[in-house]
Structure 1
Amino acid sequence: MADVVVRPAREDEWAAAGAITVEAYAVDRYIDGHSGGYADQLADTRARARQAELLVAVDVADTLLGTVTIALPGTPYAEVSRSGEVEFRMLAVSPGARGRGVGEALVRAVIARAREVGARRVVLSSAETMTTAHRLYRRLGFQRFPERDWNPVPGVQLIAYAFSLELA
């Protein structure tokens, strides 16, 4: 993880960050294809960067390795967060960069950002099938938060996790 730096995405990186997100979700079969529906939302980093915080993970050569979106409660990208919480969404690691600690570095950056803004908890919701991500969340201290589970559309169940900054 020493060769991974997480920082705010620059405008000239937005398209590449969107492409990484779409590619990661498509490779893992969380979306069908690279365009249409949710793929278009994943690709729209311009909106995410303007309405939330878009972070990227890069290596020493400044190559994009992954990305995550941080949303505060009441903002357009917030889905399950409430007052005093920070939410993250659309965590994605380029398939070629997996196994290097990129996902962990991104989640740790979210936790650090939540501390900076004085949040008491970090929350997220994730598809039941995203088991690799769930293992990462549990390893970092996230706990299941079933009272925030929800269905964005019929047939899609999202499960929630929370990390308490008060206990960390």
Structure 2
Amino acid sequence: MTEIHVRPATPADHDAVGALSVAAYRGDGQTREDHPYEPTLRDAAARAAQAELLVAVDEATGAVLGSVTFALPGSPLAELATEGEAEFRMLAVSPLAQGRGVGEALARACLNRARELGCRSVVICVRDFAADARRLYARMGFVPAPELDWTPQPDVVLLGLRYPLG
């Protein structure tokens, strides 16, 4: 079984992160070729400049398997987090690495980072139709936070979730 290591992304990872983010979002039906969110997903360098960009890598090969953006309130990438909270966004796993625990490793790295920073909770949002992601987060202990639900575009429904760190 492949060992997965989560670490901060380096500039050398940015192209791989952008490509796998777009592939993952297309693969589960969240975007398509002309979708307005794809330039944001592809621009890993901008994410790394505005928040913490983490990658999951295959220990044996060094291949980037997935990524996530970790943000604190006040970051240009924080959409939900308020004082004392952290959030993560754009968690993406290469379609070739899905089902191997990469997403959970990235989410757990974000929870650990939030604990290190003394946050009281972590908030995220997930697409309403993303059943696999919702099951993963429920299994990890995230709870629905309906006050965080929102619709950034008419065809996009995001459900808020919270993980209390208490």
The CA distance in 2 between the partners of 1:32 and 1:139, in whole Å, is 29
The residue aligned with 2:26 is 26
The residue aligned with 1:155 is 155
Deviations 1:19-61 (A, max 9, x none): 110000011111012x551011111111100000000000111
Identity of aligned residues (%): 51
The CA distance in 2 between the partners of 1:22 and 1:29, in whole Å, is 11
CA, structure 1 residues 2+32, in 2 after alignment: closer, same or farther (shift >3 Å)? closer
The CA distance in 1 between the partners of 2:58 and 2:155, in whole Å, is 38
Q: CA deviation at 1:127?
A: 1.2
The CA distance in 1 between the partners of 2:95 and 2:165, in whole Å, is 30
> Greater strand share, 1 or 2?
2
Tell me whether 151-160 or 114-123 shows the greater mean CA deviation: 151-160
TM-score by length of 1: 0.95
The CA distance in 2 between the partners of 1:2 and 1:26, in whole Å, is 25
Mapping of residues 73-152 of structure 1, within 5 Å: 73-152=73-152
The CA distance in 2 between the partners of 1:151 and 1:7, in whole Å, is 31
The CA distance in 2 between the partners of 1:27 and 1:157, in whole Å, is 18
Residues 1:57 and 2:56 aligned together = yes
The residue aligned with 1:47 is 46
The residue type paired with residue 165 of structure 2 is: L
Q: CA deviation at 1:155?
A: 3.1
The CA distance in 2 between the partners of 1:134 and 1:127, in whole Å, is 9
Q: CA deviation at 1:154?
A: 2.4
The CA distance in 2 between the partners of 1:152 and 1:74, in whole Å, is 19
Q: What is the SS of the residue equivalent to 1:80?
A: coil
Where structure 1 has 5 or more consecutive residues not aligned to the other structure, the ranges are: none
Deviations 1:43-89 (A, max 9, x none): 11111000000000001111110000001112111111100000000
The residue type paired with residue 71 of structure 1 is: A
The CA distance in 1 between the partners of 2:90 and 2:132, in whole Å, is 14
The CA distance in 1 between the partners of 2:2 and 2:140, in whole Å, is 17
Q: How many pairs does the alignment contain? A: 165
The CA distance in 2 between the partners of 1:114 and 1:163, in whole Å, is 10
Q: What is the SS of the residue equivalent to 1:23?
A: helix
Q: CA deviation at 1:2?
A: 6.5
TM-score by length of 2: 0.96
The residue type paired with residue 55 of structure 2 is: V
Where structure 2 has 5 or more consecutive residues not aligned to the other structure, the ranges are: none
Q: What is the SS of the residue equivalent to 1:97?
A: coil
